């Protein structure tokens, strides 16, 4: 899809957001001193070839989903993984921000594994609400939760960046939104204790950790408590899924970003009667599905997120 941007001036943020909305074109973002500015569209940005730690985010693969919004969610996950394999500079690893499966069935987990493992990358998972609905609520933890705490949260370090995988889909209360819970909040406080404020943090969880749209439950009721524990850190990046569309917000040193689904798009907040799967013309579907890659350049405190649709 062609777009007329005046690249001499550099695309304005509004223009870039229009691009993401209407064409699904990926954008490379750079954060310097908490202020984001775009470096341009994906092709230009990829040409610049980022050095540093690069990892991929994949989300909401919903393996098992076969409704009209995408009768072949397995197929679009396969396409996404094939594209991951084709990236010239191999990412260090992948994170999956939940809803691996649609109904937590063993066969869905098996199919997801078979496809995702073809990327030949380590994958760090957090569960979505669709991954913990098997009768005994044990399949996700058996497969992905080894060595994790509580409902499946954990942290790890890579290239000087501290990663925290959080769970905000368990033990939800009626009338509320996503929730981390007291036990996990205490663990977050403990996990961050003694860490230097100059350590970049990357926090990932399924449901957005900021309130996108409470009417649809798109938020985490106690995320403010988690973020207050991260206030002293100079660079915090929060990566989520759940809402099946790209959305970004910057607040002080914190950048919030949601990734596309590889399965089906969902409507923009408030633009439909509910958050259910959005049916779009077949030729448009792949512009609304995709993955994200995130790059840290060491020493520069820079972070770049590139959203790449399956087609666009």
Residues near another protein (CB under 8 A): 67-69, 102-104, 129-130, 133, 135, 169, 172-177, 214-217, 273-277
Please, which residue, 116 or 278, has the CB nearer to another protein?
Answer: 278
Shortest approach of another protein to residue 255 CB, angstroms? 26
Map tokens 């900021």 to a residue. 210
C-alpha distances in Å from residue 142, one per residue of 84, 102, 125, 158, 191: 26, 17, 12, 24, 23
Distance CA 108, CA 110 (A): 5
Q: Which two tokens stand for residue 242?
A: 């759940």
In this complex, which beta carbon is closest to another protein, that of residue 26 or of residue 217?
217
What would the DSSP string read from start to end of 94-109?
EEE-S--BSS--HHHH
Between 11 and 277, name the residue whose CB sits nearer to another protein: 277
Rounded to the nearest whole angstrom, what is the least distance from the CB of residue 30 to another protein in the complex? 35
Q: What is the length of the chain?
A: 312
Distance in Å, CB of 274 to another protein, minimum: 4
Give Cα separations from 278 to 63, 256, 261, 282 (angstroms). 17, 23, 12, 12
Which CB sits closer to another protein, 106 or 276?
Answer: 276
Q: CA-CA distance, 108 to 119, in Å (whole number)?
A: 18
Q: What span, in angstroms and rounded, lies between the C-alpha atoms of 101 and 112?
A: 7
228, two tokens:
């207050």
Least distance in Å: CB of 133 to another protein?
4
- Residue with structure tokens 């078979």? 114
- With b for 16 or more beta-carbon neighbours within 10 A and e for fewer, the 188-219 pattern comes to beebbeeeeeeebbbbbbbbbbbebbeebbbb
Instruction: Give min distance, CB of 50 to another protein, in A.
Output: 36
Question: Phi-psi bin for 287: left (phi > 0), alpha (psi -120 to 50), beta?
Answer: alpha
Cβ of residue 223: shortest distance to another protein, in angstroms?
A: 15
**Nearer of residues 103 and 280 to another protein, judged by Cβ:** 103
Between 93 and 213, whose beta carbon lies closer to another protein?
Answer: 213
- Residue 220: CB minimum distance to another protein, A: 11
Task: Kindly tell me which of 83 and 244 has the beta carbon lying closer to another protein.
Answer: 244
């Amino acid at each position: 899809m062609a777009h007329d941007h005046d690249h001499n001036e550099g695309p304005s943020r509004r223009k870039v957001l229009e691009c993401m909305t209407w064409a699904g074109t990926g954008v490379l973002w750079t954060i310097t001193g908490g202020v984001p500015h775009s470096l341009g569209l994906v092709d230009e940005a990829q040409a610049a070839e980022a050095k540093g730690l690069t990892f991929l985010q994949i989300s909401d693969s919903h393996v098992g989903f076969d409704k009209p919004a995408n009768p072949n969610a397995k197929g679009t996950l396969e396409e996404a993984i094939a594209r991951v394999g084709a990236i010239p500079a191999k990412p260090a690893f992948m994170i999956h921000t939940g809803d691996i499966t649609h109904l937590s069935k063993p066969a869905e987990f098996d199919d997801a594994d078979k496809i995702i493992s073809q990327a030949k990358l380590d994958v760090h998972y957090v569960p979505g609400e669709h991954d913990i609905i098997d009768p005994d609520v044990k399949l996700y933890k058996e497969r992905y939760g080894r060595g994790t705490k509580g409902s499946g949260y954990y942290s790890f370090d890579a290239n000087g960046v501290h990663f925290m995988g959080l769970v905000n889909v368990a033990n939800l209360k009626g009338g509320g939104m996503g929730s981390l819970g007291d036990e996990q909040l205490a663990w977050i406080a403990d996990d961050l204790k003694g860490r230097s404020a100059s350590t970049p943090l990357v926090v990932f969880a399924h449901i957005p950790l900021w309130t996108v749209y409470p009417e649809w439950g798109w938020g985490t009721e106690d995320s403010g408590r988690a973020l207050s524990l991260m206030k002293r850190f100079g660079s915090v990046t929060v990566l989520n899924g759940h809402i099946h569309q790209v959305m970004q917000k910057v607040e002080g040193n914190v950048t919030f970003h949601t990734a596309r689904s590889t399965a089906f798009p969902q409507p923009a907040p408030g633009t439909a009667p509910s958050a259910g799967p959005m049916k779009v013309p077949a030729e448009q579907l792949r512009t609304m599905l995709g993955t994200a890659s995130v790059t840290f350049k060491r020493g520069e405190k820079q972070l770049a997120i590139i959203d790449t649709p399956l087609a666009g």
